[in-house]
A and B are shown apart, each in its own frame.
Chain A
């Protein structure tokens, strides 16, 4: 098997898994919501309703597609496409697993190990804002535009604090590559053991997860699409699969940010005792990938858990928290981390 073939398969697999996770996140969202409200949730399509995402997808495809007369047709199509593309692009740099050995050759379960991995993620996520902004603008609808403005203002504000919280981590690990950050936390009690980054950088993690909520437009920061104030927010005018792309991309964003959180702070594909059980390399890699997905699923659940617990913030509260709360906190964290590194290097 050539490297090229392996990469193509891996890309397709990551693409398919992203879509699968997004589809089943919608199902999980409804189930979690239902269970937390003492209900049952969807349970009619197949056993326990597991075919519900298929039914939902089919419904979205079959629906009438309406393009408003006064909208800008080209931008109207570009908006959701851009949002979806950027959502899918971030999966490229995430290390889904360690090396896997096929016919004596080691393949990395990461599509590409960019040495500025985390920076790439930030760059692509920022482009995602354009998807929302263009969609809202092209709709030629006041509510859509307001939703889009809210979304972009929110995402830009929280990206600052998010970036600063990551810089502390980058200073500690000394690399931007997600793979190397992951290896830095390689687990295993015994000879060489490391704690997960969350132990060293709890504050950074806290800031990052709050910002991740805001970046994904999730409750309690779901102001861009708050139904009570803005009808549907930036996607008010969208219908059929264009709306589907927006909703879907949001769940993919959630999946990817869960993956990034797991990789940066919770050891990624590493698990305790991984080198002490005497497993073969391939076994470690496969279990590691499973462990990574376990962590990702926990974080997705956590996203939903928070959504069905906390009411939405007011817009001024959101901006206050972002600029006056998280930003100084992130800078403080940065200074403390720098101080620790300085003192450690001296001693």
Chain B
């Protein structure tokens, strides 16, 4: 069989030589290795002072996007909830009333939209399933807490504020954008 790497060693149960038996040379080579590591660069990142650089397509806390005019994109179709393997998403739909056109983009909207962050596995399938480009995962981190209840994030935490938009353009690579030019997806625009 062809070997994947040449790092594997063939072991045998041959009798140990005298030097191996007294164990001291092995200890010496061991302490040489550990002392070398003392002067190596540390792998630690001092977290609060320094943050590790995130990938542009990091899958962190979700955001519910608004369109250019500031209306919520989500139409409460429930595809994200269906696609969610952890069953973390629940929502309640409602009908848009007259005079709310600037709040909700289409006739139906999510009156309640909740993600249980303890259940969520941040796989990004909701983002993939969304036909309205309403939900995205971002590079923000879900903060810690003592209780469980506070981890059920409602619309107050998920919907992006009008005056503090969250940039998700980096997630949309040229390939994705090109794919979305397809006629079938024209309702997104």
Specify which chain A residues have a CB less than 8 angstroms from the CB of B43 in the assembled complex: 38-39
Residue among A37, A39, A308, A309 with the most chain B CB within 10 A? A309
Q: Is there an interface contact between B27 and A38, defined as CB atoms closer than 8 Å?
A: no
- Out of A39, A40, A308, name the residue touching B34 (CB < 8 Å): A308
Q: Is there an interface contact between B31 and A38, defined as CB atoms closer than 8 Å?
A: no
A308-B34, A309-B27 are known contacts; what are 5 more A-B pairs with Cβ within 8 Å?
A: A37-B37, A39-B44, A305-B34, A305-B35, A306-B31
The complex places the Cα of A36 from the Cα of B40 at a distance, in Å, of: 9
The complex places the Cα of A7 from the Cα of B38 at a distance, in Å, of: 41
Q: Measuring CB to CB, which residues of chain A are less than 8 angstroms from any residue of chain B?
A: 32, 35-40, 43, 305-306, 308-310
| Majority secondary structure of chain A interface residues (helix, strand, loop or mixed) | loop
Q: Look across to chain B and name the residue whose beta carbon is closest to the beta carbon of A43.
A: B46
Specify which chain A residues have a CB less than 8 angstroms from the CB of B30 in the assembled complex: 309-310
**Number of B interface residues in the complex (CB < 8 A):** 14
Specify which chain B residues have a CB less than 8 angstroms from the CB of A306 in the assembled complex: 27, 31
The 9 closest A-B pairs by CB, nearest first: A40-B44, A309-B30, A309-B34, A36-B34, A35-B38, A38-B43, A309-B31, A36-B37, A40-B42
Q: Is there an interface contact between A35 and B37, defined as CB atoms closer than 8 Å?
A: yes
The complex places the Cα of A35 from the Cα of B33 at a distance, in Å, of: 12
The complex places the Cα of A308 from the Cα of B38 at a distance, in Å, of: 11
Specify which chain B residues have a CB less than 8 angstroms from the CB of A38 in the assembled complex: 37, 40-44
Specify which chain B residues have a CB less than 8 angstroms from the CB of A43 in the assembled complex: 46
- Out of A37, A40, A308, A309, name the residue touching B46 (CB < 8 Å): A40
- Known contacts A309-B31, A310-B27, A310-B30; is-contact A36 B44 (Cβ 8 Å): no
Distance from A139 Cβ to chain B, minimum over Cβ atoms (Å): 34
Would you list 17 pairs from A and B whose C-beta atoms are within 8 A, ordered by A residue?
A35-B37, A36-B35, A36-B37, A36-B38, A37-B37, A38-B40, A38-B41, A38-B43, A39-B43, A39-B44, A40-B42, A40-B46, A43-B46, A305-B35, A308-B34, A309-B33, A310-B30
